[in-house]
Amino acid sequence: MNYTVFFRRIRESRLFWVLTAWAVILGFNALFIPEFFRINIQDGHLYGNLIDVLNNGAPLMLVALGMTLVIATGGVDLSVGAVMAISAAMGAVLINPAPGDKLVSNEILTRNATNTPLAIIVLATLAAGTLCGLWNGLLVSRAKIQPLVATLILMVAGRGIAQLITNGQIITIYYTPYFWFGNGYILGLPVSIYIVTAVAIIAWVGVRKTPIGLFIEAVGINPKATYYSGISAKNVQLLAYTFSGFCSALAGLILSSYVHSADGNNNGLNYELDAILAVVMGGTMLSGGRFSLLASVLGAMVIWTFTLSMYTLGVPANALLAGRAVLVLLVILLYSDRRLVKRRSVRADTQPKSAVITPDENRDLPRP
Amino acid sequence: MADSQSLITVRGISKAFPGVVALERVDFTLRKGEIHALMGENGAGKSTLIKILTGVEQPDTGSIELEHTLIRIRSPQHAQQLGISTVYQEINLCTNISVAENIMLGHEPRRFGGIHWKKLNEMARQALLRLGIELDVTQPLGMYSIAIQQMVAITRALEIASAKVLILDEPTSSLDANETARLFAVMRALKQAGIGIVFVTHFLDQVYEIVDRVTILRNGSFVGSYDIADLPRVELVAKMLGRVVGELQALAQDKARGERQPDERRLIEAAGLGLSGMLEPLDLAINVGEVLGIAGLLGSGRSELASLLFGLTSPDSGTLLIDGQSVTRFSPQESIKRGVALCPEDRKAEGIVGDLSIRENIILGLQGRYGWFKFINRQKQDEIAEKYIKLLGIRTPSPDQLVKNLSGGNQQKVILARWLVTQPRLLILDEPTRGIDVGAKAEIQKLVLELVKDGMSIVFISSELEEVVRISDRIVVLRDRAKVADYDHAVSDRTLIQTMAGEA
């Protein structure tokens, strides 16, 4: 094969830049923090930074999966973080019903038991988030509210709803079976990894082995032409937002299980931004259209690899955000390099050089 | 050409966009104190010429002179500074601030570091008065009708930019008769003041009411500039469509359709079908295996008819029967289920999904009909795509080529393929041959005739009369959003043109 064609195809692949970013971070780690790659085995479980990337990054990967479909339809879902908080609150409350006006002894609150079967807890948690997604989908597809505004409503209100559910308290969870989702292991690997893999595969089959992926991309690229082709853009959007709600719910479940608590204010904080970032790093355009689920998951992985690398390096948490901003900037610049250059040349051409231009300026032109 | 009265002289302007020549050696002269209509069908190059005059686009070749000085218009701001102002169809003013602020925005008189409101309002009031308009300028602009807003936009153009040239881009398309009359009064006042007005419109009546001269463009080339008094209506329409009236009568009825006996079975029957503001109620019948041509100028309601038949809009009067069954729910999905398909007029915005491949674009219609659960697998997709690429002669290296990279003609074929895959019974073609080269045009016409032979019914909408006459079994003429005539295929071009122009 022709070399230039080969390299162009690689560069145009959606996975190229996100893999490059990941390789750069890992390369940096190999040079400066070799202990980052150490993996220990304790009690038959794998431990180490790389495992943590997968385990801690699992909620973001899930959210990014849902966000990918939403962004591909040309929308955006800002409420994912709040939906995580709602589903976490749902789970915690069902484990420990704590009515606010009743005196509940500490003993009841901190016992390792629940009156609700675990299956019901999980189903209710997922249902809560999925309903939130459905709500977003209805606002966008039926009420025709702009996605940014429609999901902003739940982004703001969702944290309030989460606090209503928990009665304004941060609920600590003591029920150990619930911890399995965020801390459990299967065959030496964290449970969350299996969950992400399963959801990713189901989602991939769901969009690529059915017409849904084509419909989503078509709606994102040209909604009008898609409508003219007899495809209901409304239902496509509804599905994407509902799926995003489901993914957020699952992420909220894993996160609350991992941190053993439900906090309406802080569960899933800033996840919407990280998820959008992961999707954009994965090469899906914010204007909608072509998408890659795998690339978005890798994008989430890059974010967490970077975060944990900085922790390992001993960078303080406040400086971390600034560092992350640099990462974002670099990746986005990589995507838009050519466009940036082109834009500048066009500007120089069309904008007047001085503020005031009189017809006299044309004097230097030759006369007929 | 260069008379002393000329304000703007454009010579030999050409402009090409990737894949299409939008303007080719166009000349245009605007004199002081004249109203000059710019006419032509869609794609004739009117908007490109206006974009060049307003600095949005740069011409490839040719020269522009403003008051006998050679100029280059670098940007819309630059055009304004030169004294060329444009008022667009959609008014770009702020409806939520007052009329006075809209007029004076950016040039507010100041006092003590703040805005001198009293003086500002007075200045705006005076400016409007000069055009014979009296308004409460402190009211928000949104309070007033579109016509008034348009006049405010004109006032702003005159006040702020001290315009010498005013370009009005279809200002009357959303105005009623009274509002139009008011606008015309303003235009006459401006004419008296020596301002040159370029007036783009599709309404023939208005052209003959107010315009002094007219320049006609067709397919990007210059047809001619005429004094309106010397140009009868039929002549004007004929020039827009590219025919010579004398020639038309002599033209033999060279029918490509051949001797075909259309089926007697009814496929579509519309009675009193209409939508207020879009299309006057009309009756329409289409038989199986028949080509129904729709002739009419831009804005005559031809695309509105197409969108009603395809269910893009719901009629508010009349009934539509497809195969004897009454249509109650109007939506593309419903229509496609009933076997109706539409190749829309605006190929780019409504037809192709540019960032998808040819294969995906072709199967989109069929997959839409199948719904979410019946998936056309990749192998089947490839088969379908290959088959139709071959059948329609779509020139592409591979079915996975993105549609946006194809030429206009090939894009049109992809959309045709999308519908042919679904095997429709009625195919509505809205300007299927616009903006595509002659070879592809002939291929599409041939294809239409082959499809009809197989029993498909076709509604063929085109602004090229020759095409309509050649292909159609019957021709319905629309004018001013109403059906005015229904001819069989033996009708002459001349009769058609006269009917379209409203002289029959």
Question: Residues B173-231: pLDDT tens digits?
Answer: 666 677 778 888 888 988 888 889 999 887 777 888 899 999 998 878 888 899 988 88
The first and second tokens of residue A307, run together, are: 């975060």
| Nearby residues of B283 by Cβ (< 8 Å), 6 or more positions away | B270, B271, B272, B273, B483
CA B434 vs. chain centroid, Å, equals: 11
Contact assessment for residue A297 and residue A200, using Cβ atoms and an 8 Å cutoff: yes
Instruction: Please count the helices (runs of H) and the strands (runs of E) in chain B.
Output: 17, 22
Is B426 strand, coil or helix?
A: strand
CA distance B118 to chain A (A): 28
Tokens 């009189």: give the residue: A358
Most confident of the ranges A109-123, B12-26, B236-250, B308-322: B308-322
Token readout for A348 is 């120089």
C-alpha closest to that of A60 among A241, A265, A272, A205:
A272
Return the SS3 of B145. coil
B405: number of Cβ within 10 Å: 15
For residue A103, the model assigns a pLDDT of: 53
Query: Token pair of A87, please?
Result: 């589903």
CB contact under 8 A, A209 and B375: yes
Record: contact A215-B312, CB cut-off 8 A: no
Residues of chain A contacting B335 with CB distance shorter than 8 Å: 230
Domain boundaries along the sequence of chain B: 1-83+164-231, 90-161, 266-501
Report the pLDDT averaged over residues B455-469. 86
Mean pLDDT of B445-474: 86
**Minimal Cα–Cα distance from B436 to chain A, Å?**
20
Q: Which two tokens mark B11?
A: 């010579």
Residue A220's nearest CA partner among A280, A287, A283, A284 is A287
Q: Identify the three-state secondary structure at position A352.
A: coil
| CB atoms inside a 10 Å sphere around CB B245 | 16
Residues B45 and B27 sit within 8 Å (Cβ to Cβ): no
Q: Give the closest of A230, A231, A368 to B70, CB-based.
A: A368
How far is the C-alpha of A272 from the C-alpha of A248, rounded, in Å?
10
pLDDT tens digits for B37-74?
Answer: 998 876 678 888 988 998 888 898 999 998 888 888 88
Q: Which residues of B touch A366 (CB under 8 A)?
A: 70
pLDDT above 70 coverage of chain B, percent: 91
CB pairs under 8 A between A and B: 106
Rounded distance, CA B490 to CA A66, Å? 60
Contact criterion met (CB < 8 Å) for B375 and A211: yes
Which residue, chain included where needed, has tokens 């004097």?
A363
* Chain B environment of A222 (Cβ under 8 Å): 349, 352-354
- The token duo for A322 is 């600034």
Rounded CA gap, B240 and A211, in Å?
Answer: 45
| B32 residue type, one letter | K
**What is the pLDDT confidence band of residue B237, given thresholds at 50, 70 and 90?**
confident
Query: Is residue B17 classed as helix, strand or coil in its secondary structure?
Result: strand
Report the percentage of chain B scoring pLDDT > 90: 27
**A73 to chain B, minimum CA–CA distance in Å?**
13
Asked if B309 and B340 count as a contact pair (C-beta separation under 8 A), the reply is: yes
**A367/B355 CB distance under 8 A:** no
The helices-and-strands tally (H runs, E runs) of chain A is 15, 6
Inter-chain touch B356–A217, beta carbons under 8 Å: yes
CATH architecture of the region B1-83+164-231: 3-Layer(aba) Sandwich (3.40)
pLDDT at position B259 is: 54
Interface test with A, best of B359, B360, B372 (most A CBs within 10 A): B372
C-alpha to C-alpha distance for A174 and B10, rounded to whole angstroms: 82
Residue A336 DSSP one-character state: H
Whether this model's pTM surpasses 0.80: no
Q: How confident is the model at residue B253 (pLDDT cuts 50, 70, 90)?
A: very low
Buried/exposed code over B20-52 (b: 16+ C-beta within 10 A; e: otherwise): eebbbebebbbbbebbbbbbbbbbbbbbbbbbb
pLDDT in tens, B104-141: 887 788 788 788 888 888 888 888 887 777 888 888 88
Which of A1, A6, A65, A5 lies closest to A301, judged by CA? Answer: A65
Q: From the candidates B348, B364, B369, B398, which should be mutated to test the interface with A, based on the most A CB atoms within 10 A?
A: B364
Q: Do A352 and B333 touch (CB under 8 A)?
A: no
CATH number of B266-501: 3.40.50.300
Contact list, B373 vs chain A (CB under 8 Å): 210
Distance of CA A93 to CAs A84, A88, A184, A270, B325, Å? 14, 9, 21, 23, 56
Of the ranges B86-90, B166-170, B370-374, which one carries the lowest mean pLDDT score? B86-90
Two tokens, residue A325: 């901003």
Question: Which residue of B51, B307, B355 to mutate against A (max A Cβ within 10 Å)?
Answer: B355
Determine contact, residues B87/B168, Cβ cutoff 8 Å.
yes
Asked if residues B7 and B66 have their Cβ atoms less than 8 Å apart, the reply is yes
Chain mean pLDDT for chain B: 84
How many other C-beta atoms can be found within 10 angstroms of the C-beta atom of residue A223? Answer: 18
**DSSP E strand boundaries for B251-344:** 266-275, 279-287, 291-295, 317-322, 325-326, 340-343
**Distance to chain A for B71, nearest Cα, Å:** 6
Residue B170 has a CB neighbour count (10 Å cut-off) of: 18
Interface test with chain B among A207, A216, A217, A229, by most B beta carbons within 10 Å = A229
Q: CB B70 to CB A365 under 8 A?
A: yes
Nearest to B350 among A224, A231, A350 (CB): A224
Burial class (CB in 10 A: 0-12, 13-18, 19+), B504: middle
- Selected residue with higher pLDDT from B174 and B415: B415
Out of A211, A228, A359, closest to residue B350 by CB? A228
* Residues facing residue A171 across a β-bridge: A262
pLDDT of residue B422: 93
Facing A211 at nearest CB: one of B65, B353, B372: B372
Q: What does residue B288 show for φ and ψ, rounded to 5 degrees? A: -65, 135
Which residues of chain A are modeled with pLDDT < 50?
Answer: 100, 338-368
User: What CATH number belongs to A60-99+109-335?
Assistant: 1.10.3470
The type of residue at B302 is: R
Residue A357 distance to chain B (closest CA, Å): 7
Angle at B95 between CA B89 and CA B97, to 5 degrees: 140
